[in-house]
Structure 1
Amino acid sequence: MSNNNGINFPNWFWGVAALLLLHWGCYQDVEGCLDVRAANFDVSADVACLDCCTFPELELIFQHRAVRSGDTLNFNYDSIFYLTGFPANPFRIEQIRYYISEVVLETTAGDLRVQDTIKLFKQNSSDLQGTPYIDDFLLVDRDFPSTYAVGTILGTGTVNAIRFRLGLSDVVRQTDPDKVTGGHPLALA
């Protein structure tokens, strides 16, 4: 067989070319997560999927201890504690429970915050829309030691430090707990 330029191609060439064209013509795009920040990023995917990406969640574990000059003191209930230099003033811890909010990861690429949001409603307000806030509220309770899920973090970089507010801002403290979804740290129990 020859083409218009007078070059002859063997018959097997045309057979291989036809097979290659058929193979490429039957290829179907692979759908998957194409967001490199996702835990399930799929480098072999051709088409981005809708809502299939899963992102890392920040989890914190709190250990209730005091460390001073190499000594570690566990905060156990019904134990009597003495402060160095104040032996006449012993104290006892009956309960430890506190809020954590405004969680920030300090990374080499910049500060990262939780992506999740929640609408909060002020007490005694006629506001029907609510105000969106970053949902990084935790109620840490010494009675229930566990891992606390803070929320979804998007970003890159090496984590250098974590910072957070111990407690709630003045504005968030005015939230109506009756209007917060049950099970949320800001809701009534």
Structure 2
Amino acid sequence: MLTIWPRDKMLSIRFFLILMLGGLLSCEEYKEGCMDASATNFQVSNQAPCCCEYPDLVFQTTLTDGEGTLSFADTFENAAGQRYVIRELKFLASNIQLSDSTGAVFVPGDTTGNYLVSPAILGVNVLDLNNAGANFLSDGTFDHLEFSVGPVEELRGKVPADFPRDHPLRDSTFYDFRAHSWNWVKVVLDVPGSEAGSLNLSIDDPRANVDISGSWTKTRGRDLVVNFRINITTLFDAMDFSLPEDVLLSKFKANLRASFEP
């Protein structure tokens, strides 16, 4: 038997079905967020991709005298009995690479394309303790770190203002605006009792290849923190701060590579 529904009743049924379907769909709320498990802000509950932030390579630097860890605020004394305070100690690392026990080599990357220069370049302010660079996504344990300290051709013609606000090379103290060049290595010391009262050394061409062994582990979604130390006894102990600047620069350059320790 064929049932014919009145037109107004058919319209009511259609309207009801539309309301019911809309109600069912409205119950499903998609949570927006990072859906990449390699990211630092990944959550398994996210259902709409957005805003991923990726792990970084972090250089964690401390000072040592060869025996223990020293405070950045301490007053030190060299072999000549001269007291000094480190106000700045910075360097530009390039060609950064890590390796594991199998000899496999791993390098930083630029996941978002915002680093602007090679991700294997990092400006390091030793007194900041932690210096974050480009992204590092490889997980595992790494036992060897290599990098160079010296002129980086890729930076020639660039200035700190060319980089985003949160970029490690945005720090203007890495740049000498009078000489229009980057400070590849820079140290500023307060030397109480000396004629100048302070010492400001910047090496134009240090050419130091640093090689450090250690054990640094990264897990998924976490930064890789690579800690190492700067031995101030190696760096400054044999320096007489009363000598001419060119002599001090020569000694500082000669001591630089050996001052990096695990």
- Please tell me the TM-score bracket, short chain as reference: 0.5 to 0.7
Q: 1:62 aligned to 2:43?
A: no
Q: Name whichever structure is richer in helix by fraction.
A: 2
Q: Which has the higher contact order (CA 8 A, sep 6+)?
A: 2
Separation in 2 of the partners of 1:170 and 1:57? Answer: 21
Say which of 155, 158, 175 aligns to 2:156.
175
Tell me the equivalent position of 2:118.
133
Q: What are the ranges of 5 or more consecutive residues in structure 2 without an aligned counterpart?
A: 1-20, 162-169, 178-262
**Contact residue 57 and residue 135 of structure 2 kept, 8 A:** yes
Tell me the equivalent position of 1:163.
145
Q: 1:170 to 1:156 in 2, by over 3 A?
A: closer
Q: What are the ranges of 5 or more consecutive residues in structure 1 without an aligned counterpart?
A: 1-20, 82-89, 119-131
**Contact residue 97 and residue 140 of structure 1 kept, 8 A:** yes
Give matches, 1:16-55, under 5 Å: 25-26=25-26, 27-49=28-50, 52-55=51-54
Q: How many residues were matched structurally?
A: 139
Q: 1:154 aligned to 2:142?
A: no
Give matches, 1:34-113, under 5 Å: 34-49=35-50, 52-67=51-66, 71-72=67-68, 79-81=77-79, 97-102=89-94, 103-106=96-99, 111-113=106-108
Given the two structures, how large is their TM-score scaled by the length of structure 2?
0.40
Q: 1:166 to 1:72 in 2, by over 3 A?
A: farther
Q: 1:166 to 1:31 in 2, by over 3 A?
A: same
The percentage of counterpart residues that share the same residue type is 13
Letter in 1 for 2:97: V
Structure 1 residue 98: Cα displacement: 4.3
Separation in 2 of the partners of 1:66 and 1:166? Answer: 23
Cα offsets for 1:43-89 (capped at 9, x unmatched): 1122212xx1122233333222243xxx44869655133xxxxxxxx
Structure 1 residue 175: Cα displacement: 2.0
Structure 1 residue 187: Cα displacement: 2.6
Structure 1 residue 167: Cα displacement: 1.5
Separation in 2 of the partners of 1:180 and 1:105? Answer: 27
Given the two structures, how large is their TM-score scaled by the length of structure 1?
0.52
What do you get for the CA RMSD once the two structures are aligned? 3.9
Tell me the equivalent position of 1:125.
none
